[in-house]
Amino acid sequence: MSRNARINALLLLAVAALAVLPLVLGLGDHKEEPFAGADAEAETAITEIEPDYEPWFSPLYEPPSGEIESALFALQAALGAGVLAYYFGLRRGRRQGEQRAVAAAEAAAAPRDTSEGD
């Protein structure tokens, strides 16, 4: 197994562990919504500290359900990942193109042996 393949396997294992361990260990079992987002946690903490708190503004769009909100968040993450993948792929392609152009220029500039074996 090459070094890159080993690193990729370890990273994949770490991501899987981060996703599965909270479920296996029962983290969040004592909560009504065990894996609520940071916004919900912050809202709960604020209302406990200051029950009369009034938000400064309201959202421009409020999704009708939590499932739609999650779907929009997943779509946003997928679009961001697509933009990053495109950017890194473009950079890699340009770098490979430059390397090929340099190699072709060096091959063209190298002296050629025109003598044929008599």
Q: With cut-offs at 50, 70 and 90, classify the pLDDT of residue 82.
A: very high
Residue 104 vs residues 53, 75, 98, 100, 113: alpha-carbon distances, Å: 68, 43, 10, 6, 17
Choice between 51 and 85, residue whose per-residue pLDDT is larger: 85
Question: Helix, strand or coil for residue 35?
Answer: coil
Q: With cut-offs at 50, 70 and 90, classify the pLDDT of residue 54.
A: confident
Q: Give me the pLDDT at residue 34, please.
A: 66
Residue-wise pLDDT tens digits, 9-37 = 999 999 999 988 887 887 767 766 666 67
Q: What is the pTM of this model?
A: 0.52
**What's the alpha-carbon Rg for the chain, to the nearest Å?**
27
Give residue 73's identity as a one-letter amino acid code: F
